Chains A and B, each alone.
Chain A
């Protein structure tokens, strides 16, 4: 009875002291984070409902931007192309990264060297990568078509100069760049699978494929989930690689959502309309991540 009134103020003092301490640690970073990330995200939902232009004169226009978007064929092209990129980039990168990780998880000579090599594209700038690949893809004199010609392909594709092949070109380069990064995540995941599981499976006479399906795949569940979330966001926001490689062309064959936002916003100064398109990108990335988390949670329980 006598202790209660004494501990309560002490507890409260501790809480308030901790609050001051906690906030003073977080504050220096939080100020920058709030002003340059959180605030813009909030403001986005205001600007998208206005006709904000370069002079900063904004009128509330309600859903006008979204109604305009509905009839905007360029917007739908950009959305379709983004989905095109995503649908191929995710499974290709996932397969390549997992394949490389499985290969590197074995006791082979030169594994360390190879890990360095595989990670190298990821730390190289997009601009340099796009420039080199454009030379490699050069339809008439480039080494890729020369190699294709050497193995007997007569009508080699025009790659970035052809509207049918421009998107596959970009997907190839995107996969090439990111597979090393996701390989590292898979490697880290593989190392958490206990070796005894493999040994037990082997004494039970499981084949390599059965071991993969029944030990490796379940053991990598969490990693695969996380990689898929990251890959989804990364695919939907694809921009700089395409901007430098093809500029969205030829025609609109590689125009993606991010680039359309950039065009409308920074080239045509239609900040309001560009923000409305941004909300679509935001909703897709955020929505898919939330759905993926929910599905993962249900599968776990």
Chain B
């Protein structure tokens, strides 16, 4: 660019500005259009499966797969949303899952934020080594220790009870990690001056850190809730009795039982996704902040 500028005749001092401005504007408008086109295309690809899920759940079973494809349900069949409660144990599955998700989120938030304070603000020998053990397990997939964990849970008489899922999900390293990252952004002077005023460590945690960390606590609670709600492998390994099934486990047994009931299967899927979708749309800010906090520093 500098080369072309130099080769221009002298009166062109103002000219390049005049000439390039509309050119650049046109080019940036062109890029803008390309950008929008890419966005629309990507959004369509991302949303197509969800669109299909909802539309198929409102069709009669024989209308799900047709040639050519019908992209709108005609007629709209709401019956599926009534039938599914009779043909499956949806109520039990949703009840179990809700109970587990609430309990796990509560325990994770309480124990996670508590431990994170210890790691972030109290100096004691062995702290860093201990934290390394926490972080290290992030590189160890659950799948690689599910066998010995199952043996242990069975010895503790926890397998085939809902407690096994609580034990599995509530004490993860993730919560400790997220909360520690957040506590470290709170200025040390704040707790230091409280310490001078005679507040105990527990007092500082309760009176200063907890109120300040409300957004991070919300992030952790929501992320844990969704993870527990969506977990399939934990319940698959630990919950054998039909009355203990969670929504994911139930949904999968349902599709193997009624594998040709395409519309009803989609109805079940919509119902299993709906609570999480609502929670996500309401608390989107917290999801995104929580993920950015844990992701930024590694």
Which residues of A come within 8 Å of B, CB atoms?
15, 18-19, 21-33, 35-41, 43-44, 47, 52, 56, 100, 103, 106, 108, 110, 114-121, 123-129, 131-133, 135-136, 138, 140-143, 146, 176, 180-181, 184-185, 187-189, 192, 205, 222-223, 225-227, 229, 233, 236-237, 239-240, 243-244, 257-258, 261-262, 265-266, 271, 274-275, 278-279, 281-282, 285-286, 289-290
Q: How far apart are the CA atoms of A286 and B38 in the complex, in Å?
A: 37
Stretch from B7-15, B64-72, B211-219 that touches the partner:
B64-72
Residue pair A282, B140 in contact (C-beta under 8 Å): yes
B: residues with CB less than 8 A from A are 1-2, 32, 35-36, 38-39, 42-43, 45-50, 52-53, 56, 64-69, 110-112, 114-115, 117-119, 122-125, 127, 130, 133-134, 137-153, 167-168, 170-173, 175-176, 201-202, 205, 226, 229-230, 232-233, 237, 247-248, 251-252, 255, 262, 265-266, 269, 272-273, 276-277, 280-281, 284, 287-288, 291-292, 295-296, 298
Contacts of A226 in B (CB 8 A): 295, 298
User: Which of A32, A52, A129, A187 is the one whose CB lies under 8 Å from B167?
Assistant: A32
Q: Which residues from B are CB-within-8-Å of A258?
A: 141, 143
Closest-CB distance, B156 to chain A (whole angstroms) = 8
Are A271's CB and B139's CB within 8 A? no
A52 to B151, CA, bound (A): 10
Are B292 and A37 in touch, CB under 8 angstroms? no
* 8 pairs, A vs B, C-beta closer than 8 Å: A36-B149, A47-B151, A123-B276, A146-B68, A188-B295, A189-B296, A205-B2, A261-B144
Q: How far is the CB of A89 from chain B (nearest CB, A)?
A: 15
Closest chain A residue to B118, Cβ basis = A25
Other A-B contacts than A118-B43, A119-B288, 11 sampled, CB-CB below 8 A, are: A37-B137, A125-B272, A136-B49, A138-B65, A181-B291, A262-B146, A265-B146, A271-B147, A271-B151, A274-B147, A289-B139
Contacts A15-B125, A265-B147 given; indicate if A184 touches B205 (C-beta within 8 A): no
Q: Are A32 and B39 in contact, with the CB atoms below 8 A?
A: no
Nearest-CB distance from B282 to chain A (Å)? 12
- Determine the chain B residues whose CB is within 8 A of the CB of A41 once the complex forms: 137, 140, 145, 148
**Once bound together, how far apart are the Cα atoms of A176 and B45, in whole Å?**
9
Main secondary structure of the interface of B (DSSP, over half): helix
Q: How far is the CA of A169 from the CA of B49 in the complex (A)?
A: 14
Partner of A28, one of B2, B53, B115, B233: B115
**In the bound complex, what is the Cα–Cα distance between A132 and B104 (angstroms)?**
28
What is the distance, in angstroms, from A271's C-beta to the closest C-beta of chain B?
5
How distant is the Cα of A278 from the Cα of B176 in the complex, in angstroms? 26
Given the contacts A29-B114, A32-B111, A236-B141, A185 and B147 also touching, CB distance less than 8 Å:
no
Residues of A within 8 A of B288 (CB): 115, 119, 184
**Contact A33 B171, beta carbon cutoff 8 Å:** yes
Task: Please name all residues of chain A whose beta carbon is closer than 8 Å to the beta carbon of B111 when the two chains form the complex.
Answer: 28-29, 32
Indicate if the CB atoms of B148 and A131 lie closer than 8 Å. no
Q: How far is the CB of A228 from chain B (nearest CB, A)?
A: 11
A187 CB, nearest partner CB in chain B, Å: 8
On chain B, the residues within 8 Å of A146 by CB distance are 67-69
Q: Which 6 pairs of residues, A with B, have the shortest CB-CB distance?
A: A32-B171, A25-B118, A141-B65, A237-B141, A205-B1, A29-B111
- The contact of B148 among A25, A106, A275, A286, by CB within 8 Å, is A275
Residues of B within 8 A of A115 (CB): 288
